[in-house]
Chain A
């Protein structure tokens, strides 16, 4: 081992830290689709009526008198009815290019409470509204994997430290937290691999970890950006699906400040993804989901409380965007659910299912039984560019 440095070791392994893992044309050829899917879970219940503000509804100003709403308060008008949260302003070029869209008044089938934990579990498990069992719970992306011909252990990546139930399950997938430092001096890394040489499990895990830890240049400061950067790096290789989550959306107080931060980070992440993916962006769809929406009216602390109907954000070059999907239920008191929440007009899973159908060719029967049990996919919303 003496005289062997880390680069030699990595060369012996047939790779370099900059180009890991070695991807073969076979890996690409084995997949029926060259498309990519990124699922972003916004944990804490993102206020969809603040992301995409339905200022054209006459009741909105009454329900949210202290909130900034439409163009008259500086928000950019999108449709003559909807205005964009300023934190999402950096995404306007995407909207104009048809690479950004929204689905309004959607929710999971969860109705039995407004618990973040149950709501997220149901969103990620993709169930028909029941809280998944404590044991053996799996996520809808995991159930999708066996339906993708040629899918392997690196087709789908869970990115980040948050537990991603959405990918949990028996189908093999990869996971990595890009903020793992693994800041070993090169000589120490060499010695580590030397001591792992005879233990296959440790050796292979360490080799992969050392490779992955060098695969993304650190992104300083911007929350969540390294997740998108890492996802892009994997999607440029043989990964086709990446799932990650961003927290900090539970805006009970001082919502304006809190969501400005959140949407700014989300915008930066999506732009980073687009930039890093380059030409692959055109084959990519990003699906941004949250466990439920928030109350139609503001509360007493300049925030909103847990609600039901919310907004899904879609992005990517594979999207035929520049539009808002979904029926608007109205904000008159009688139109609200329980006199407080935006009434969902469609199951958010239907849009996810149509995205999977468009990206990977997954059949309707499997989508509405295996991936999303009990789902009525309904008419094709025409998401694909």
Chain B
């Protein structure tokens, strides 16, 4: 039972191709190894995406000039949209074929924590590159590094309006414009301290002034614009940063301090436990994780180890619902069918993965706001959301060739978690496809 829980609660599920990790040590060992999945199923880097987006802008301006121009615009538009679906395909292939999948789960968790939504401008079909470049490589190191990578990434600067923020007393500000507090507020409220973290409006304002130098250059890279920086030092949570000379290091410094603040340790330990374990996690688990956070200066791997060390991590009761992306990955994995994605046109991905995920309530790369996806099962298992899952499962089983025997598949997909009602349903189904569908639809599979 413990290895099954390890696979489904902390990894991307059971697989006919990989033995489940025996426990905490195996989960962490997998995280310590190289990220071979990312190398095998590569995602286009941010810089290349920005070049395409620049091209897109130029072609769009010229598209009414003639048929050739319109065609050129369509080509680049298609390239962006294909890339969006390809990112999903690669993400699912990674998760479906990884030995454990803890890294994938962490990448999704932190991508939700540092949420950025697909949009226009720099965010046109590019957010997958932000996840891959800023989030995924930093999920097991120091939280300070993850925080800095996410908060200063051009995707975040674009999403939370930082690139429009101008210190009113800066050389640039004397010609107009003002501070935009959006990023500073979310850094304090969402990314670090939490809403009860003891900051006030003055801290938000001071941090926003400290962040005024952060902007996006013409190549879509983060830049430090000294002429936008509000002069003078700013005090955030009781400590003064910066002075009259603009210095990008001031920003790194305040993020460093916020990353190890006790409120941050509590807030994020709890959020991790809520995500992986239960909507109301045991208080002593959260305390132990926060203590590890304090002791190690926010070493994420150590915090995860503390979570895995707590008995509640291995409670067989499945309290959480798999989110749609997680569920789809687990279904591909359990059926060993990720290979089906290898030579498909993007239309197949769109029709069979991207669109269904949207119907299930988790549109790819489009979280509802900077606070990411909801955690509680009731937010996902609504009549509409569940119907979309069931419709997808019906279609998905139709891809499988051959359709596995439900009597064996119930063990492959669920192991000891298969309850008597699920086993009965799988046995009694009128054909193999219905049986496999019922196994995938069962609470034993939909929960973790």
Contacts and interface: CB of A to CB of B under 8 A. Distances in A.
Interface of A: 1-2, 117, 134-137, 161, 174-177, 180-185, 187-188, 191-192, 194-199, 201-202, 205-206, 208-209, 212-213, 300-301
B422 interface: yes
B369 A194 contact: no
Contacts of A205: 381-383, 385-386
Across the A-B interface, give the 4 residue pairs with the lowest CB-CB distance, nearest first.
A180-B387, A191-B425, A209-B383, A208-B383
B377 interface: yes
A201 B441 contact: no
B64 A192 contact: no
Contacts, number: 106
B244 interface: no
Given A183-B394, A195-B421, A196-B443, A161 B359 contact: yes
Interface string B101-142: 000000000000000010110000000000000000000000
A192 B441 contact: yes
8 contacts: A135-B186, A175-B384, A188-B434, A192-B390, A194-B424, A195-B442, A197-B421, A205-B383
Contact of B394 (A136, A184, A201, A212): A184
Contacts of A212: 383, 387
Interface string B412-448: 0000000101101100111000100110011100110
Contact of A176 (B120, B383, B390): B383
A28 B299 CA distance: 58
Contacts of B359: 161, 177, 180
A202 B384 contact: no
A182 B160 CA distance: 39
Contacts of A201: 321, 377-378, 381
Given A135-B371, A177-B359, A195 B425 contact: yes
B342 to A, nearest CB: 28
Contacts of B378: 201
Contacts of A188: 429-430, 434, 437-438
In the complex, which of the residues A117, A183, A202 has the most CB atoms of chain B within 10 Å of its own CB atom? A202
A257 to B, nearest CB: 18
A295 to B, nearest CB: 15
Contacts of B390: 182, 184, 192, 206, 209
Nearest to A201: B381
Given A180-B391, A205-B381, A208-B383, A192 B446 contact: no
Contacts of B119: 117
B383 A192 contact: no
A124 to B, nearest CB: 14
A209 B384 contact: yes
B64 A301 contact: yes
B425 A213 contact: no
Contacts of B370: 134-135
A199 B429 CA distance: 20
B438 A195 contact: yes
B61 to A, nearest CB: 14
A56 B372 CA distance: 52
A199 B369 CA distance: 30
Contacts of A198: 419, 421, 443
Nearest to B444: A195
B377 A182 contact: no
A174 B385 CA distance: 12
A246 B115 CA distance: 29
B443 A195 contact: yes
Contacts of B385: 205
